[in-house]
Chains A and B, each alone.
Chain A
């Protein structure tokens, strides 16, 4: 039996093993080294960031988490970054779910991001969990005109009348933007058709790779920002990480006496290349800063990003190797196919 025959009769368990290694080894390597692959944001990921960034602090953002643990690998990091950008910007976040286990997804992402990194945010004032409601698109169609009809209480059973940030919310029209993390039906498409389009509200969608091709036709008029699969999540995550760091650096520079526009230019530069902050503090331009301010600046520039905010970028490693394996398998399969056909054999 030659190589072609052996490959033609390859036990699929070998392929399973290869896929297991293609995913497992990068996970282990990235876990040990902490290194991630660089990300070049596409215009769609940048647009998603710009929509939320362009709103005034305190804007009302409806966050619809329509996914489950099966798609948490793709959508969890997006949810994390959406919350981080809103929390950092000072937007008010209203969480709802049209999927039964979306309620657990809300709890999981808010407890990890808000509980872990923004403990100063007050429940009921800065964010609220309104929980899951059954009814699929009927929920959206109703809250477009009457929000309280489906959401008379929050997920904890507190009347919305007793929640300060619910004051003035009568319908979806009272929100400044909609953010949806979706794994299927009901999800992105329903938010486009029944909410964003009739209300002409900005809509940002984070969806699975399978859904993404179906959402492109709605960009840019009905969907302003689209994150497709873990690649979109990684791009958006890197934008948010850079922005948060440059915001922190800007504060440190300004409190150290460096004024605009120099402070903004330096903050952006140091966020992209942290080592430059160390060099800059030794130069004459930094003479006006106190030693404490310089130390704080260096600390902020070189501090490692918490793992929770690198999840998507870390998952790009296994995706890279798995994609290369897939291409290799397709090529190998075709070589076997053509070699067998040339010999006149049947597969």
Chain B
């Protein structure tokens, strides 16, 4: 029963979504299914929170390596959740001064805004900015012209790296814009590579992925692929 019911739900919803795309009279069925998805997505936030608690509480109780980090995760998670959920420090909406929880939790100056502005924002921005340092290190150690394909890749990378900055314009600005060789200007070459070579390669990949998704979806709808249910089936 634990497996049969989800299999039927998947098969029915999958079929409804396919049919609603091809038969105009059944379009409302598809809309109904996507509404359910919206509700499930909202509930997933609660499940996600529960899962986070379970994983990290177990890690702390087992004293696994890095358990102190789990404590930080749980502490910040609980504090942010409480601040947002109970609207701590939020003044009532001026239109409804007698309703204590009527204020805007994300309004400027609220504790929730403070957490976002001074904790979340700088931390995420810092994490992303650190990529530049690791990419530079990788460029020095890993980007080798070992064979012909690697040389082509290197050449393309140089054109794109230069063409996406003023250096590209500066280095080839002597080539007349209206002349027959204007396509050799680095900024033009980088656009050409992106619009022609990249587009051709990406279209092939997109079509391949789409066919793969269609095939996998059919297997899931027909119950042949049950890996999403877990349990190694």
Show the binding face of A for B, using Cβ within 8 Å. Answer: 10, 12, 15-16, 18-20, 23, 37-38, 40, 42-44, 68-73, 101, 103-104, 107, 111, 133-136, 138-139, 141-142, 145-146, 149-150, 155-156, 212-214, 216-217, 219, 228-229, 231, 316, 319-320, 322-327, 329-330, 332-334, 337
Contact = CB atoms under 8 A, between A and B. Distances in A.
Contacts of A326: 135-136, 139, 161
24 contacts: A12-B140, A15-B140, A16-B136, A37-B166, A43-B191, A73-B129, A101-B120, A104-B106, A134-B38, A134-B45, A142-B31, A142-B35, A145-B31, A146-B31, A214-B202, A216-B195, A216-B198, A217-B202, A316-B165, A320-B166, A324-B167, A330-B139, A332-B140, A333-B139
B58 interface: no
A316 B187 CA distance: 14
B133 interface: yes
Given A134-B45, A320-B165, A333-B141, 16 more contacts: A10-B140, A15-B136, A40-B169, A42-B191, A69-B124, A73-B125, A150-B38, A213-B202, A214-B202, A322-B132, A323-B161, A326-B139, A327-B162, A333-B143, A333-B144, A334-B144
Given A156-B104, A329-B139, A68 B124 contact: yes
B41 A141 contact: no
B34 interface: yes
A329 B140 contact: yes
B50 to A, nearest CB: 16
A314 B100 CA distance: 45
Contacts of A149: 35
Contacts of A68: 124
A239 to B, nearest CB: 15
Given A134-B45, A146-B31, A70 B125 contact: yes
Contact of A217 (B136, B165, B199): B199
B55 interface: no
A90 B161 CA distance: 37
A142 B34 contact: yes
**Residue in A145, A322, A333, A337 whose Cβ sees the most chain B Cβ within 10 Å:** A333
Nearest to A38: B166
Contact count band on B? 35 or more
B141 A231 contact: no
Contact of A18 (B30, B106, B136, B145): B136
**Residue in B41, B141, B162, B165 whose Cβ sees the most chain A Cβ within 10 Å:** B165
Contacts of A231: 164-165
Nearest to B202: A217
Given A134-B41, A316-B166, A333-B141, A216 B199 contact: yes
Contacts of A104: 106, 116, 121
Nearest to B128: A70
A19 B136 contact: yes
A298 B133 CA distance: 45
B157 A330 contact: yes
Interface in B143-199: 143-145, 154, 157-158, 161-162, 164-167, 169, 187, 191, 194-195, 198-199
B206 interface: yes
B136 A69 contact: no
Interface in B102-127: 104, 106, 108, 116, 120-122, 124-125, 127
B133 A323 contact: no
A132 to B, nearest CB: 10
A229 B164 CA distance: 10
Nearest to B191: A42
A332 B108 CA distance: 49
A77 to B, nearest CB: 14
